[in-house]
Chains A and B, each alone.
Chain A
């Protein structure tokens, strides 16, 4: 095969491809949709991992619930389990809603309205989650102390008090980073939608 022959093969290939129109209008729009979904896939992966961790922790607390022997430990345990089960479900649900926005169905205006509604919900859940994370931090600490260290930290608070500011600082940093990621991703998804105008 020399250069001329290569040219012939290419021309024949081009001729064959000219008769192979396989893309439909719907498929082309679907490609844009796929890019939209991709914006959220990384966040979804982290959230799914986080949800699994929360569920496992809730399971551990439930399995060892009988070790919580005072009224405040029982209340803290019950609240912690409820929170650890409810928040991940709410987050994944709001993420699912925004990720599965039907871009190709309905008008551009409808899509944008649905997107902004879903984004508002997603960011609200995030903000609520951040707020409750600080409360759960304080509430779950006695439960975790009892389950993992067999100590009632309410009675020996001095040994534990130093953990709280350290964990708060870490949580502030993680929460800020996480919320910034969410905002970034939703802005970028909005940009994709505006390109569909």
Chain B
């Protein structure tokens, strides 16, 4: 299989992961699409290094989160983005209004967190172990544990307010 084809397959298999990262780090569909595009591009750029080193999911989370944070820091939209209306899953395409409402509440809670906390939250919800979260974020596993406990308490108080 060619390198390009291998990359395309990986991206296709992990669209959901990229979608979730873009949802947590943007506030509107325009920025979300732009971030989605940038993450795919950055993954392509770092594709070689992944093949020799890390586990696929670790590599993807690392690149996606780093891109999301750096993109937010730039605070400006890049011109010339291509139309991606069909590329990014539109919300969840869920016909269930109750689920949509719960999802909305969850996003609102997560958006209250700071950038690092959002990343930790995402990784935790994705079922990643503390060691892997530590590898992705650059924190120590102990630090990850402490921060996650704080996030949970923070979220609890936010959920009560909502």
Contacts and interface: CB of A to CB of B under 8 A. Distances in A.
Interface of A: 1-3, 5-7, 9-10, 12-14, 16-18, 20-23, 25, 27-35, 37-38, 41-42, 45, 195-196
A116 to B, nearest CB: 21
B94 A16 contact: yes
A5 B94 contact: no
A9 B156 contact: no
Interface stretch (B103-111, B112-120, B130-138): B103-111
A55 B152 CA distance: 62
Given A17-B20, A27-B87, A10 B82 contact: no
A38 B80 contact: yes
Per CB-CB distance, the 10 closest pairs between chain A and chain B, nearest first, are A17-B16, A10-B125, A34-B82, A41-B80, A20-B89, A41-B79, A31-B40, A35-B41, A38-B80, A31-B37
9 contacts: A1-B109, A20-B89, A23-B11, A25-B5, A28-B12, A28-B40, A31-B37, A31-B41, A37-B80
A174 to B, nearest CB: 23
Nearest to B125: A10
Nearest to A10: B125
Interface of B is mostly: helix
A34 B15 contact: no
Contacts, number: 100
A5 to B, nearest CB: 7
Of the listed residues A23, A25, A45, the one surrounded by the most CB atoms of chain B closer than 10 A to its CB is A23
Contacts of B86: 22, 27
Interface string B29-68: 0000000011011001100000000000000000000000
Contact of A23 (B12, B20, B45, B156): B12
Contact of B102 (A1, A21, A23, A34): A1
